[in-house]
């Protein structure tokens, strides 16, 4: 394998007494765009959080370009699940995007015109410039997700972790987000995305990580994302339709 961007070894994680992840081992290629796929409760969110020190792992090690998380913090962008924050918080879209820059601004300083400009450009890139001053609760789900994406973009990170950025968004937002993710990849960034729609996996991601408590299979999508591996991940009760043409079916969800 080429440059390893993320290396996880023997990772275990639990909520109180429930072991959610056991013995996770993986190495993610630098510059790859990986879809993390698995049933509800498989531990996908927990895996992202454990890698980012947001959830204490029991044992195991995580390294980014050979360095521990603490040293690489500033190079990592995280897009949590949309439901993880309070959208009634008194703030507007531009302000939320500016938060992505707080790590660069430093103590006792306020965001400058320059930072606001950068945030504004990221909003513009996500097609949200007309909503910069809109209170965040007045945005649709898709628009909120674009704001989160814009916030990740301003962080100008090397590694991105995104938790279901395409869940519950409209088709236009899905398209805008995928375009952005592919651009990040072109720029050489490493991106891991929790994804819930099996039908678009092959179209969107060059690598796939099949997860259910532990890594079921991980590798290039065309070799890994097979019917067999998928049913091993989901157990028997997977709903899998249009198995042959899954990569040409456009996905329009709501």
Partner 1 sequence: MPYTGWIILTASLVGLSCGLIGVFLILRRMAMMADAISHTVLLGIVIAFIITREVSGTPMLIGAVLAGLLTTFLVQWLHSLNIEQHASMGIVFTTLFAVGVILISTSVGNAHLDVQHALMGEITFIPWNTMSLPVIGDVPKATALLALAFVIVLSFIVAFYKEWKITSFDPALAASLGIPVVFLHYVFMSLVSITTVASFDSVGAIMVVAMLITPAASAYLWTDKLSIMLVLSSSFGVISAIAGYYTAVWLNTSISGSMAFATGLVFLVSFVFSPKHGLIAKYVKPAL
Ligand X SMILES: Nc1ncnc2c1ncn2[C@@H]1O[C@H](COP(=O)(O)OP(=O)(O)O)[C@@H](O)[C@H]1O
Instruction: Specify whether the CB–CB gap between 207 and 220 falls below 8 A.
Output: yes
Binding residue for partner 1, selected from 53, 59, 61, 223, defined by CB under 8 A:
53
What is the per-residue burial (b if ≥16 Cβ within 10 Å, else e) of 155-192? bbbbbbbbbbbbbbbbeebbebbbebbeebbeeebbbb
Can you tell me which residue has the tokens 């707080």? 102
CA distance 195 to 39: 10
Whichever of 140 and 223 has its CB closer to partner 1, that residue is 140
Least Å from the CB of residue 76 to partner 1: 6
* Binding at 83: pick from Mg ion, partner 1, ligand X, none (beta carbon under 5-8 Å per type): none
Residue 45, H or E segment = helix 44-51
CA distance 204 to 247: 9
Q: Which residue minimizes CB distance to Mg ion?
A: 45
Pattern 26-65, binding to Mg ion, x per CB under 5 A?
-------------------x--------------------
Chain residues binding partner 1 by CB under 8 A are: 16, 49, 52-54, 73-74, 76-78, 80, 84-86, 89-92, 95-96, 99-100, 102-103, 105, 107-108, 110-111, 135, 137, 151, 155
Sites of contact with Mg ion (CB under 5 A): 45
């Amino acid at each position: 394998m080429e440059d390893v961007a993320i290396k996880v070894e023997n990772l275990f994680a639990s909520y109180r007494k429930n072991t959610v992840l056991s013995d996770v081992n993986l190495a993610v290629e630098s510059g790859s765009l990986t879809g993390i796929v698995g049933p509800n409760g498989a531990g996908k969110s927990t895996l992202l959080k454990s890698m980012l020190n947001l959830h204490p792992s029991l044992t195991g090690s995580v390294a980014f370009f050979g360095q521990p998380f603490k040293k690489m913090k500033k190079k990592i962008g995280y897009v949590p699940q949309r439901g993880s924050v309070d959208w009634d918080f008194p703030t507007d879209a531009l302000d939320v995007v500016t938060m992505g820059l707080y790590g660069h601004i430093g103590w006792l300083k306020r965001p400058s015109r320059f930072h606001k400009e950068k945030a504004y450009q990221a909003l513009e890139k996500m097609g949200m410039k007309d909503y910069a001053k809109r209170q965040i609760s007045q945005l649709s789900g898709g628009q909120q997700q674009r704001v989160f994406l814009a916030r990740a973009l301003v962080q100008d990170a090397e590694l991105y972790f995104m938790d279901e950025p395409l869940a519950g968004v409209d088709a236009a937002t899905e398209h805008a987000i995928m375009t952005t993710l592919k651009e990040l990849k072109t720029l050489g960034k490493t991106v891991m995305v929790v994804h819930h729609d099996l039908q678009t996996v092959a179209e969107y991601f060059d690598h796939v990580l099949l997860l259910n408590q532990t890594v079921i299979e991980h590798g290039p999508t065309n070799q890994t994302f097979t019917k067999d591996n998928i049913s091993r991940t989901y157990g028997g009760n997977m709903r899998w339709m249009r198995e042959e043409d899954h990569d040409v079916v456009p996905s329009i969800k709501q």
